[in-house]
Amino acid sequence: MTLPTTPLVEVDRLSVEFDGAVRAVDGLSFTLEAGRALALVGESGSGKSTVAGALLGLHRGTGAKVGGTVRVGGIDVGTAGPAELRRLRGGVAAMVFQDPLSALDPYYSVGDQIAEVYRIHHPGSKIQEIGSTIRQSGSTIRQSGSTIQQSGSGTHQPGSGIQQVGSTIHRPGSRKAARARAIEVLDRVGIPDAARRSRSRPHEFSGGMRQRALLAMALACEPQLIVADEPTTALDVTVQAQILDLLHELRRETGTALLLVTHDVGVAAESVDEVLVMRHGREVERGPAAGVLGAPSAPYTRALLSAVPRLDGPTRTTPEEKGETLLEAVDLRREFGRGKAAVTAVDGVSLTVRAGESLGVVGESGSGKTTLGRMLVRLLDPTGGELRYRGEEIGGLPDKRLRPYRRELQMVFQDPVSSLNPRRSVGESIADPLRVAGERDETRIRGRVRELLDRVGLDPDRYGAYPHEFSGGQRQRVGIARALAAEPRLIVCDEPVSALDVTTQAQVTALLAELQAELGLGLVFIAHDLAVVRQVSDRVAVMRAGRIVEQGTVAEVYGAPQDPYTRQLLAAVPSLDPVLAAERRERRQELAVA
């Protein structure tokens, strides 16, 4: 296939300002050739997603001030009219958003939503406009306020989907053809039983399947460019690897160009030809993926790469003396529902956690990790088995008798946004465990909260600030401070760094390690990122379908895994070396066949 010599994407001195004061992108220039793949890499707030939105003109009507020039497929995005923008979005370039659950309409089936995109970009019969009357195939449609409505650039007749493009009015393509195309692309992205599942609504799909559905929607009109904004952030390693492999295969088969926005440098190494590192809206470094990731020239790029957890990186130093056994689970079970509808989320799990020890729990989404973690701190009641804290059975204790143990068993949640009350200051949220424990002296409470804020690296003077005024990493620090307020002996951390960029991730894990060493805490670290778990854990338990399939020291589980599932998880971890990434992709394919 002969590719055009003119770049598919041309960005020249792009700048984007919000509210007249925040310059999210500052003079950025780059090009992307047809069939090539470029990753925009950087920390949260570096301007990556803002650039992606500018390629499709998504900042129009938002009040943002956009400067410079952006051309995609020959279309000047800044000066394009409504009809050209409609042709650009979906037909020339398609976007895959970070959160598929919010990007898909919950009221309509996945297949109908994909079919709608196809029909819009594949118009059917033309309708000639004659004066105020529109004729089609001998029939007459009268133009009146009650029958034809103007919407954006198109004129739509309710129910018929009539749309006006330029001076010609079209009907969208047939529903049958669009439906067939939706099933075809769903099958192409690996949705099993695509014809049946196309009738499912988004909430009936898993996270990985929803992301595949967004990819199918992007592919429906065979665009020249796919813009993928953090497409694997919330996915576990195996699903992430499947999505990356799928993107690679689709690019190879169709010649589609890819602009990948990600804070995960390993994801970039797996997927692209070139990498552009961004910071504060500006380019820091750009070049071939192997060069930028293998021999970076900019200090910031080197700092970014040094923060990436690796399977061959340093491990945690295990304490020589074993502390007392804090928590012991024996054949722990949890079922949801009754009778034939019952679902066993945790099925006969046994483990121990000692003082000063870190136990990592890894597995795919739906493996039972979070349910187990909530049972360990008694936020969920076990339906079977035993749960002992410092030798005392607490699994079946009623709330009143459990209260003395609550302070010593705390949890840091995955999403600090939903676990912090947006109407209360962070200081008040951190103070809650102190008040529950009986402290009534407000001066002492405020003093203790200020100490905790300082201890987790936040300004004590921000006691009165609200959650939305903090970054993601700072909110997670607030969650840690709240857990520490009760002076616990054991903390369960449920995916505490999954949504954070690598530098913030490194700061949070370093903070947890420091606090653990200082306070002698027992720590249960739940995550789907095996490289992070290796870095923070002394022992690791691998979960699948509610069961622990392998358990041992970090050296045992990572160095000589016994279970095929553990080997599959390790093979899915992204590598910073593009050559090794390609080898691992082949290895994953071999394991899938086996």
Q: pLDDT (tens digit, 0 to 9) for every residue of the chain, 594 residues total?
A: 455 568 999 999 999 998 777 788 999 999 999 989 999 998 887 889 899 999 999 998 888 899 999 999 999 999 999 888 888 988 899 888 877 878 899 999 999 999 998 888 876 544 444 344 444 434 444 443 333 333 344 444 333 444 444 444 445 568 888 899 999 989 888 888 889 989 999 988 877 788 888 888 988 888 899 998 888 776 777 777 878 888 888 888 888 899 999 888 878 887 888 999 999 999 999 999 889 988 899 999 998 888 888 887 778 777 667 788 999 999 999 998 888 888 899 999 999 999 999 999 998 877 889 899 999 999 999 999 999 999 999 998 988 888 888 889 999 887 777 788 889 999 999 999 889 888 888 999 999 999 999 888 888 998 998 988 887 778 888 888 998 888 899 999 988 887 777 888 888 888 888 888 888 899 999 988 888 899 899 999 999 989 999 999 999 999 999 999 998 888 878 777 777 766 777 766 665 555
CA atoms lying within 13 Å on the CB side of residue 348: 2
Q: Are residues 279 and 155 in the same domain?
A: no
The model carries a pTM of 0.75
Last residue of a domain, one of 172, 196, 229: 172
Q: Are residues 132 and 208 in the same domain?
A: no
Q: Are residues 330 and 268 in the same domain?
A: no
Q: Are residues 15 and 99 in the same domain?
A: yes
CB-based burial, 483-503: b 16+ in 10 Å, e otherwise? bbbbebbbbbbbbbbbbbbbb
Q: What is the DSSP string of 386-410?
A: EEEETTEE-TT--HHHHHHHHTTEE
User: In CATH, what number is assigned to the domain containing residue 521?
Assistant: 3.40.50.300
How far apart (Å, rounded) are the C-alpha atoms in residues 304 and 269? Answer: 14
Rounded to the nearest 10 degrees, what angle do helices 110-121 and 175-188 cross at? Answer: 120
Q: Are residues 53 and 130 in the same domain?
A: no
Q: Are residues 471 and 497 in the same domain?
A: no
> Quick check: 516 and 410 in contact, CB under 8 A?
no
Query: Where in the sequence is the domain holding 390, given as residue range(s)?
Result: 324-408+488-562
* Residues 6+ away with beta carbon under 8 Å from 397: 378, 405
How far apart (Å, rounded) are the C-alpha atoms in residues 489 and 479? Answer: 16
Integer CA distances (angstroms), 333 to 157, 202, 270, 364, in order? 56, 30, 38, 18
Q: Is residue 188 part of a domain?
A: no
* Residues 6+ away with beta carbon under 8 Å from 130: none
Q: Is residue 369 part of a domain?
A: yes
H or E, element range at 326: strand 325-336
Integer CA distances (angstroms), 466 to 17, 128, 344, 435, 517, in order? 25, 58, 38, 19, 30
Q: Are residues 493 and 402 in the same domain?
A: yes
Q: Is residue 97 part of a domain?
A: yes
Integer CA distances (angstroms), 191 to 185, 238, 435, in order? 9, 15, 50
H or E, element range at 213: helix 207-219
Q: Are residues 437 and 477 in the same domain?
A: yes
Q: Is residue 514 part of a domain?
A: yes
363 sits in the region (left: phi over 0; alpha: psi -120 to 50; else beta) called left
Phi, psi of 407 (to 5 degrees): -60, -35
Last residue of a domain, one of 271, 306, 341: 306
* Sheet with 282-288, edge to edge strand ranges: 93-96, 225-229, 257-262, 37-41, 274-279, 282-288
Integer CA distances (angstroms), 194 to 197, 205, 219, 243, in order? 5, 12, 15, 17
In the block, tokens 């008694």 appear at 378
- Beta-bridge partner residues of 252: none
Q: Is residue 287 part of a domain?
A: yes
Q: Are residues 401 and 503 in the same domain?
A: yes
pLDDT the model gives residue 140: 40
N-term to C-term CA, the chain: 34
How far apart (Å, rounded) are the C-alpha atoms in residues 450 and 431? Answer: 10
Q: Are residues 279 and 401 in the same domain?
A: no
- Beta-bridge partner residues of 334: 346
Q: Is residue 101 part of a domain?
A: yes
Q: Are residues 20 and 101 in the same domain?
A: yes
> Quick check: 289 and 274 in contact, CB under 8 A?
yes
How far apart (Å, rounded) are the C-alpha atoms in residues 578 and 588? Answer: 15
Q: Is residue 189 part of a domain?
A: no
> Per the structure, how many domains does the chain have?
4
Tokens of 483: 């857990």
Q: Is residue 183 part of a domain?
A: no
DSSP class of 344: E
Q: Are residues 156 and 284 in the same domain?
A: no
